[in-house]
Each structure stands twice: as structure tokens, then as C-alpha cells.
Amino acid sequence: MIETPSLVDQYCHGVLRTELGLGTFEAHLARGEGLPAPGTTFFDTQTGFAVRRWCPPLLGLEPHCPPAHYLARRRELGVLEVGRKLLRGTGITTYLVDTGLPGDLTGPGEMASTGAADAHEIVRLELLAEQVADTSGTVESFLANLAESVHGAAAHAVAFTSVAGARHGLALAPQPPGPGEVRGAAGRWLADRRVGGVLNDPVLLRHLLWIAVASGRPLQLHVGLGEPGLRIDRTDPALFTDFARATAGLGTDLVLLHGYPYHRHAAHLAGVFPHVYADLGAALVRTGARAAAVLSEILELAPFGKLLFSSGAHALPELHVVAAHLFREALARVLGAWVAEGAWSQPDAQRVAGLIAAGNAKRVYGVR
């Protein structure tokens, strides 16, 4: 028996405060660009099946109940009670919350109270830069305010996160851009954008990453699958190898989020560079009943002190539940088999499980 009594969710988002209809709920299960194929449903995915397995019992229903029954029960209880029952059924004791997505999502404080847990903020670098740009009149003020804002955020956030891969791709030049290059890029971007425009200039993205590295806070980098429509060939973590090498020895840890389907590449980088860590979040949630097979592949390559549990959940508290249960089940199945075969001892398996579930995140982020 491999036990993980508590989990640190090292990357997630808040949950929606509003009631959801069938279509909206399904959209958050798949996060595709449109509707399911005619006559089909997004519940017919690995994630959808996992929701039907693990979430109904927390709301007083049988496992695998029909989606319509589950959503009716959800509406009957109300969004606040559903959030409380589901989040408190995860065994997650600490949430690290990326507050950089739009929508009516709960913040760290609400996640803490709803889930009876601790919660801390992760600051999304690109959103921070866009907010600074909206209130800065000149290139000089933008760059000065940007540096000041990152420094100020480092005082309260446990980490920074970047979606540079989604905005441009991870094949960025690894070295910091020069001052003249940064001023020129800032001038062009500010002149062309409207208020609320997204940051996608490669020079400014590099500049932002290096400001974050200088802060000393852990820097999370989104790799692999992500936003709908993303060109995933541009988010292979192998493309970030030179940046990992350039930041080695500077005192800032890099955490490769999500990873899948490049989870082996992320695990490899975590094995090569002392300051690089790999996340287990979306890789397990997306693969559902196959989660143990994917976890085995990650454990082939990464040192066990370099792997971190997360849910990567967004909008639906069900995704926090699914992530926690799939992680525990996959870890118990994989490590338990190795113990049964005599390859590992039970105490070693339990120690490694504790590291991946919570211990590594506590060390990297300095949380309880």
C-alpha cells in the first residue's frame, strides 16, 4: 500500500463561481476549439470518463452515473456546495494558483476557504506586462514599471509562470536581449497594440523571462499541450534546452508544466539540469485510465526528487478531483508493482511517493 495522505497542487487555476449548463461543462472537459462532432460528447474522453468515475460519489451518486444525472445533482446542490464537496474530497492541502486567466474564477483566498487548504499566488508574467503596458505612456516608463512590477510581485508570489511557448514558441534565443534591442521591441509593440493586446514579441518575452530569473523565484514554463489551437510542435520542451543551460547556476529553478505529449523530453531535461523540474499535471489528467503507463515513462528518466504533482485544473473543481485520484492510483499501481517484484523496498516506495506528492513542491516553493 502506497499512501499519499496530502498533496501540494503546484499549479492550478481557480474554479468558476457560476452555474454551468451541459455545453459549458463539456467545453471545459476538452478545451477544444469548438463543439464535439455531431452526435458525440466530450464526456467520451479519458478525462470525461475519469470525472464520471471519481466525482459522483463525492456528491452522493454512484460512480459512472450518466452525465445528465451528474449535472442535475450539481445544479441541485449549487455551485458553492459542489465546490466545497469536491475540493475537500481531493486531499490537496496546498494550492498554488495561477491568477492570470480571464473569467469569473476564484482566487487563492477563495480556493483556500472552499477547499479547507492553504493557497498561494502564481503570477503570470505576460499578463503582468500587459497590465503595465496599459498604464505606461512611454517606452522608458513601460520598461521601468515592468521591472518594478516583477520585483514587487516577487515579494508576495511563490512563483512566476510564463506562456511564452503559446505566444511565440519555445525556440527563443537563450541569451538576454540587449538594452537597445529591448527598447526597440518595446517601442514597436506599444505602437502597434491596443489596450488589452497580448504580448507576443519574442524579444520582450525573452526580456520578461530573464527579469523573472533575476528575481530568484521559481519560474514555471508551459510546455506541451495547452490552449486550444496551439501549435504543439512549438512547445516541445527540448526547444528550451539552451535556455536551461544558460540559466544553470543562477539560483532560479525552472519547472516544466504539463509536458504531455512531450513528457519524456521534460523528464529528460529534469535529469540533465539540477535546476529543472518536471510537472505531472496534464499528462495524467488527459490520459485517464492510461495514467499509470504515462507515469511509468516519466519515472524512467527523471530523478524522483525532480517531479511535482499538480492538477493543472481550470474552471471545474472536478478536474482537481480527477487529478488527485488519478495521481494517487497511478503512483500506487506503478510503485506497488515494483515493490511486489522486489525491485524496490516498501519504505523507499513510500518515501518517493511523499516526495512527488508534496515534499518536492514544499522544497522548491518554500510552502508548508
Whether 86 contacts 55, CB under 8 Å = yes
* Mean pLDDT, range 126-144, rounded to an integer: 95
Half-sphere exposure for 363 (CA within 13 Å, toward CB): 15
Q: What pLDDT digit, counting tens, does each position of 21-58 carry? A: 888 898 888 766 677 888 888 899 999 999 999 999 99
**Percent of the chain residues topping a pLDDT of 70:** 98
Strand order in the sheet with 254-258: 7-12, 92-98, 118-124, 159-162, 219-223, 254-258, 276-279, 307-308
The residues near 51 (Cβ < 8 Å, ≥ 6 apart) are 29, 43, 70, 318, 319, 321, 322
- The predicted pLDDT at position 32 comes to 66
The per-residue pLDDT for 129 is 97
pLDDT of the residue at 229: 59
pLDDT tens digits along 184-199: 999 999 998 877 789 9
Mean pLDDT of 304-333: 96
Q: How many residues does the chain have?
A: 368
Write out pLDDT tens, residues 158-180: 999 999 998 999 999 999 999 99
pTM comes to 0.95
pLDDT at 341 over 80: yes
User: Nine-digit cell at 322?
Assistant: 480527477
Q: What is the pLDDT at residue 227? A: 67
Q: Which pLDDT tens digit goes with each residue over 270-299?
A: 999 999 999 998 889 888 999 999 999 999
Q: Is 216 left (phi over 0), alpha (psi -120 to 50) or beta?
A: left
Average pLDDT over residues 98-124: 96
199-220 residue pLDDT tens: 999 999 999 999 999 999 999 9
C-alpha distances (whole Å) from 358 to each of 5, 197, 364 are 10, 37, 10
Phi/psi of residue 47, each to 5°?
Answer: -65, -45
| Residues 311-325: tens digit of each pLDDT | 999 999 999 999 999
At residue 38, the pLDDT reads 87
